[in-house]
Amino acid sequence: MAFKVADRYRLELHWTNVSYDQDQIAILTGCYFSGPVVKDVAQLNQIDSMDLDFSNQYLIFTNLYYIAKLSWVGVRHTPDKIFLGESTLKNKNLNVVPKLNTNDYIIIDTQNHENEKHNFMLVYPSFLVRRDGQFYNFGSTN
């Protein structure tokens, strides 16, 4: 399975460390957004969340949709990054998918979240990627 996210809509979520406090919660330390779309992002709320839809990529692990809630407390904007304070990724099935590595990152497709469409779209299509930019293809037999 391949994925494409137009550069204009590409938002990347990075972290410096990840730990698992409970089966349902991954704690992301040193978390920040980067990518071409950062310059167009409106001011984020200091306490907020967004739903990341990994269903296409994680289909092999779960027969239902897989949506994880990214939450944060604290935001600091710079011209090329948005730093997030206390950040977690939560899903009741977090223990059935591969654990995140410190060197991984997530690509988020924001195409359907421009002002006119945002209120009609509840989730952000998202993809887990290795540090070298290669998409994790969990369903591959290679």
Which tens digit of pLDDT belongs to each residue from 83-136? Answer: 999 999 998 877 777 788 899 999 999 886 555 654 556 789 998 888 887 776
pTM across the whole model: 0.84
Strands (E), the chain: 10-14, 17-22, 25-29, 32-34, 47-53, 67-77, 82-90, 105-109, 124-129
pLDDT digits (tens, 9 = 90+) for 21-61: 777 899 999 999 999 999 888 889 999 999 998 877 766 66
